[in-house]
């Protein structure tokens, strides 16, 4: 099959065996790749009711049909596993170079099952597969162990690792790769840790089969040329995602002080300009990317001397604004600490902001934390708590399971300011005055993550008081963006440069030989959106509408200052948005897909599971 | 046409290697590209680009004269090559590349596509005849 490497690798860590089987044609035909493979394989393979951190959960890692091919941004990989954070569908995307390498080694998906008794690593060299002992790397940082493995195996291996947070089953532990790329969300790193799998190392030498080589070269070249011509090619790249920091503050959507405010008065000290002038060493790209968003940096003060990729926008928002760390070097240092510990910097900033507010309110007391402090603005406080979370010490042990679980344990109305949905912490956009962005967060299939639909610009352009049309736009974006995750391409060329979406069907045809309009490709994405909903419905008791609400802070407390001061989104508005959204999606009032919708999506196989859940 | 590199601009994207292999082998396989990109991470955190400078040391050691001069470019005739790999050892900058599926080494022929498509202009033509697309 053109575009595909042609094989699936299944590794069983309990039995220490592996099998290589041909990629099923119908899987490729109906689910395309990446996120499509992840969702379908999770549905088929992970037994219902599996403990996310037990032997029955599986890690799926899947590149897509365009991964590793000559076109802009073809270096993404989709990881998936039942999420310890939500208990439902979980996936997370990573850039760098490991995804193409998996394809060059000959695989369209890795399925990792069982648990090892001792720390191990998976070493893939084309079709030579080994499960090797990894005790000497266990306990080491995510970056440190990658450096050790590069040294021991060879520079030409692409390596994914977990840090202590993953080993200690922190619910927001990430998988790290390429010294600064992370599959951050939904706790995929903890699932790796639960399997005692410290690392995946890959080296491949094979070619990706192409339907039409000449056309691939031609269209690929034209795509790069089109990127070169966009104004953003020169203007956006130097600062990368951090360039949006000032604008998000201008529109009052910057998470500040555990989402009390949408404006951080000191944002100009942590913006993209500060990265360029103070810490940047190199612009660092994922495979085949013309607009390297990675800002590899060196932050040095008398207190620390660290190299780190970033901080990118999300880290600036959640570590900078949300815990009020007000200078770029300290943000970079806190980012480095998270990366080395293997903590998702989004959730870490959110969780630590929550803990700082608990401390401020006296819910966490000095005596609970050995007389240390937990003050907003203190990088030292950030760092000690990040460490205690990763090693599950003291209050860190409670916070290691995320703000939802922590707020249930702390009580005292802390759930009101535990800023999460479905157990996954909210990322970098305050949405109390941005209805489409709000809806994007609350309906995102993996919890409060922005990457399925980034609608804040649409809210600003179309009117932030307007409720009509927001569900429609959110749904469109929820199909477009995850399509990139199915093809395993980066979406930033489209988002940031305005690169035309029409290019993708053209290159898809050249590579795979299959001809679709962009609209038709979106149909595949809609199917997956319905399937991931079904997955969470199957796994989480009582799942449905009640899981699609923001925390009370967003529905009841006005934003404290800045351009959006006084704004909040009352429950009735949320209800309006959800009603509209469910109707357009063909879901019932409780957010459950109708039988007609499931058959329209060719998901009849889910009907027996879903039918009893409908009222 | 004289290839030179400016490593400080490289972002490690490997567009150059992928395209090189595509146009010379009709294969999407950056491991068959005739140039070298190395990341130096975590410290100092830079990339190093090495491109063929047509010094001809490879031709000097080839026992069957498979590498011959055309204008200013040394070109490897893959049919004449006997795969002894003497040139690989002789190349002073390590850009006679080897690939497990190829009997002959892989050598740059100055086609210039890496210059045209390196997004970062990290590979340049010192003579200024070839430029990045759009320049
Ligand atoms: S824009 Fe950033 S994330 Fe996307 S491919 Fe380029 S370097 Fe990777
Ligand atoms: S195309 Fe340019 S920036 Fe990319 S790896 Fe090659 S030399 Fe570096």
Q: What is the CATH number of the domain that holds B91?
A: 3.30.70.20
Say how far apart CA B19 and CA B13 lie, in whole Å.
11
Say how far apart CA A87 and CA A111 lie, in whole Å.
19
**A 18-57 residues with CB < 8 A to B:** none
Instruction: Supply B128's token pair.
Output: 């200024």
Q: Is A232 on the interface with B (CB under 8 A)?
A: no
> Which residue of B7, B11, B26, B121 is the best one to mutate when testing the A interface, meaning the one whose CB has the most A CBs within 10 A?
B11
Got the DSSP string for B71-117?
A: TTEEEE-TTT-----HHHHH-TTS-SB--TT-SS-B------HHHHH
A37-to-A34, A527, A535, A602 alpha-carbon distances in Å: 5, 12, 14, 15
- Going by DSSP bridges, is the β-strand pair A181-183/A305-309 parallel, antiparallel, or unpaired? unpaired
Q: How far is the CA of B121 from the centre of ligand 2 (A)?
A: 8
Query: Do residues A353 and A389 make contact, with C-beta atoms less than 8 angstroms apart?
Result: no
Query: Do residues A90 and A81 make contact, with C-beta atoms less than 8 angstroms apart?
Result: yes
Of A208, A214, A216, A122, nearest to A161 (Cα)?
Answer: A122
Q: Phi/psi of residue B120, each to 5°?
A: -100, 0
Count CB atoms within 10 A of the CB of residue A602.
12
Q: Do domains A7-203 and A435-549+570-613 have the same CATH topology?
A: no
Place of tokens 């109906």: A30
Q: What is the distance in angstroms between the CA of the first residue and the CA of the last residue of chain A?
A: 43
Domain A435-549+570-613, what architecture? Orthogonal Bundle (1.10)
The alpha carbon of residue B55 and the mean position of all alpha carbons in its chain are separated, in whole angstroms, by: 13
How would you label A516-525 residue by residue, b for 16+ Cβ within 10 Å and e otherwise? bebeebbebb
Place of tokens 């902001």: A353
SS3 B53: coil
Categorise residue B84: left if φ over 0, alpha if ψ from -120 to 50, beta otherwise. Answer: alpha
Q: How far is the CA of A284 from the centre of ligand 1 (A)?
A: 9
Q: Residue B25: inside a domain, yes or no?
A: yes
Q: What is the distance in angstroms between the CA of the first residue and the CA of the last residue of chain B?
A: 17
Q: Per-residue pLDDT tens for A154-180?
A: 999 999 999 999 999 999 999 999 999
Q: Residue B132: inside a domain, yes or no?
A: no
Got the DSSP string for A348-379?
A: HHHHHHHHHHHHHTTSS-GGGGTT----TT-H
Residue A481 per-residue DSSP state: H
pLDDT of residue A83: 98
> Which residue of A207, A237, A308, A339 is the best one to mutate when testing the B interface, meaning the one whose CB has the most B CBs within 10 A?
A207
Say how far apart CA A418 and CA A416 lie, in whole Å.
6
SS3 A284: strand
Query: Which residues of chain B make contact with A289, given a CB cutoff of 8 A?
Result: 11, 13, 119
For this complex, say whether ipTM is above 0.90: yes
Angle at A493 between CA A491 and CA A496, to 5 degrees: 100
Q: Which pairs with CB-CB distance under 8 Å and at least 24 residues apart come from A568-576?
A: A568/A432, A569/A431, A569/A432, A569/A433, A569/A435, A569/A438, A573/A435, A573/A467, A574/A438, A574/A442, A574/A549, A574/A550, A576/A467
Of A61, A7, A27, A24, nearest to A208 (Cα)?
Answer: A7
A172-to-A191, A200, A294, A519 alpha-carbon distances in Å: 10, 19, 22, 35
Q: How far is the CA of A498 from the centre of ligand 2 (A)?
A: 23
Say how far apart CA A535 and CA A92 lie, in whole Å.
16
Per-residue confidence at B12, pLDDT binned at 50, 70, 90?
Answer: very high
Nearest-atom number in ligand 1 for the CA of B11 is: 7
pLDDT of residue A615: 85
pLDDT of residue A28: 98
Count the domains in chain B: 1
B45/A143 touch (CB, cutoff 8 Å), yes or no: no
Say how far apart CA B52 and CA B35 lie, in whole Å.
7
Q: Per-residue pLDDT tens for A506-564?
A: 999 999 999 999 999 999 999 999 999 999 999 999 999 999 999 999 999 999 999 99
Stretches in chain A below the pLDDT threshold 70? none
Q: Residue B54: inside a domain, yes or no?
A: yes
Q: Residue B68: inside a domain, yes or no?
A: yes
Domain A7-203: give its CATH superfamily: Aldehyde ferredoxin oxidoreductase, N-terminal domain (3.60.9.10)
* Residues in chain B, total: 135
Query: Do residues A182 and A451 make contact, with C-beta atoms less than 8 angstroms apart?
Result: no
Q: Residue B133: inside a domain, yes or no?
A: no
B22/A217 touch (CB, cutoff 8 Å), yes or no: yes
Q: Is B13 on the interface with A (CB under 8 A)?
A: yes
| A73 C-beta closer than 6 A to ligand 1 | yes
Domain A242-425, what architecture? Orthogonal Bundle (1.10)
Query: Do residues A539 and A49 make contact, with C-beta atoms less than 8 angstroms apart?
Result: yes
B115-to-A54, A434, A491, B1, B55 alpha-carbon distances in Å: 51, 45, 25, 10, 19
**Beta-carbon contacts of residue A110 (< 8 Å; ≥ 6 apart):** A8, A9, A10, A11, A59, A60, A61, A62, A102, A122, A124, A200
For chain A, give every domain's residue range: 7-203, 242-425, 435-549+570-613
Structural domain containing residue B119: 3-125
Q: pTM for the full model?
A: 0.98
């Amino acid at each position: 099959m053109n575009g595909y490497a042609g094989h699936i690798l299944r590794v069983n860590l309990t039995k220490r065996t592996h099998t290589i089987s041909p990629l099923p044609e119908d899987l490729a035909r109906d689910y395309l790749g990446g996120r499509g493979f992840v969702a379908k394989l999770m549905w088929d393979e992970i037994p219902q009711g599996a403990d996310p951190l037990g032997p029955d959960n599986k890690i799926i890692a899947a590149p897509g049909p365009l991964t590793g091919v000559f076109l802009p941004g073809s270096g993404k990989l989709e990881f998936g596993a039942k999420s310890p954070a939500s208990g439902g569908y979980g996936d997370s995307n990573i850039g760098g170079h490991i995804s193409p390498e998996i394809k060059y080694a000959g695989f369209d998906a890795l399925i990792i099952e069982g648990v090892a008794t001792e720390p191990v690593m998976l070493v893939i060299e084309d079709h030579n597969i080994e499960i090797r002992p990894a005790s000497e790397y266990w306990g080491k940082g995510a970056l440190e162990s990658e450096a050790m493995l590069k040294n021991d195996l060879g520079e030409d291996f692409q390596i994914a690792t977990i840090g202590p947070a993953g080993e200690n089953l922190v619910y927001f532990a990430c998988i790290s790769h390429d010294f600064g790329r992370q599959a951050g969300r939904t706790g995929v790193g903890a699932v790796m840790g639960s399997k005692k799998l410290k690392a995946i190392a890959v080296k491949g030498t094979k070619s990706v089969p192409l339907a039409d080589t000449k056309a691939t070269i031609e269209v690929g070249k034209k795509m790069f040329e089109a990127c070169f011509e966009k104004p953003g090619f020169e203007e956006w790249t130097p600062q990368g995602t951090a360039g949006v920091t000032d604008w998000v503050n201008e529109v009052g959507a910057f998470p500040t002080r555990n989402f009390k405010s949408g404006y951080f008065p000191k944002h100009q000290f942590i913006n993209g300009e500060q990265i360029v002038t103070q810490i940047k060493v190199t612009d660092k790209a994922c495979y085949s990317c013309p607009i390297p968003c990675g800002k590899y940096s060196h932050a040095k003060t008398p207190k620390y001397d660290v190299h780190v990729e970033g901080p990118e926008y999300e880290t600036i928002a959640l570590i900078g604004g949300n815990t009020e760390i007000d200078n770029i070097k300290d943000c970079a240092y806190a980012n480095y600490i998270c990366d080395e510990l293997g903590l998702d910097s989004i959730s870490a900033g959110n969780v630590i902001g929550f803990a700082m507010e608990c401390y401020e309110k006296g819910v966490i007391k000095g005596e609970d934390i050995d007389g240390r402090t937990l003050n907003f603005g203190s990088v030292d406080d950030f760092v000690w708590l990040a460490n205690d979370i990763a090693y599950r010490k003291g209050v860190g042990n409670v916070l290691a399971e995320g703000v939802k679980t922590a707020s249930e344990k702390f009580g005292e109305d802390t759930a009101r300011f535990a800023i999460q949905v479905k157990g996954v912490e909210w990322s970098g956009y305050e949405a109390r005055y941005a209805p489409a962005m709000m809806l994007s967060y609350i309906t995102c299939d993996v919890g409060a993550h922005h990457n399925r639909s980034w609608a804040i610009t649409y809210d600003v352009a179309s009117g932030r008081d307007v409720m009509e049309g927001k569900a429609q736009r959110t749904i469109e974006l929820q199909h477009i963006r995850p399509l990139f995750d199915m093809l395993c391409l980066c979406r930033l060329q489209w988002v940031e440069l305005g690169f035309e979406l029409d290019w993708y069907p053209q290159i898809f045809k050249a590579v795979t030989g299959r001809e679709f309009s962009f609209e038709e490709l979106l149909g595949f994405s809609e199917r997956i959106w319905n399937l991931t909903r079904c997955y969470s419905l199957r796994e989480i008791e009582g799942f449905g509408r009640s899981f699609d609400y923001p925390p009370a802070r967003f529905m009841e407390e006005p934003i404290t200052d800045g351009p959006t001061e006084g704004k909040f989104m009352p429950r009735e508005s949320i209800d309006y948005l959800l009603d509209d959204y469910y109707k357009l999606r063909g879901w019932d009032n409780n957010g459950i897909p109708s039988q007609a919708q499931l058959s329209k999506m060719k998901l009849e196989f889910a009907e027996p599971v879903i039918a009893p859940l409908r009222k | 046409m004289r290839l030179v590199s400016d490593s400080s601009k490289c972002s490690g994207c490997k567009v150059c290697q992928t395209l090189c292999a595509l146009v010379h082998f009709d294969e999407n396989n950056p491991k068959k590209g005739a140039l070298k990109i190395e990341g130096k991470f975590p410290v100092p955190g830079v990339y190093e680009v090495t491109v063929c400078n047509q010094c001809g040391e490879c031709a000097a050691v080839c026992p069957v004269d498979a590498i011959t001069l055309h204008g200013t470019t040394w070109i490897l005739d893959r049919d004449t090559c006997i795969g002894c790999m003497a040139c690989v050892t002789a190349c002073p900058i390590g850009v006679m590349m080897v690939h497990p599926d190829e009997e002959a080494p892989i050598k740059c022929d100055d086609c210039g596509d890496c210059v045209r498509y390196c997004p970062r202009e990290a590979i340049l033509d010192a003579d200024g005849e070839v430029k990045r697309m759009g320049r």
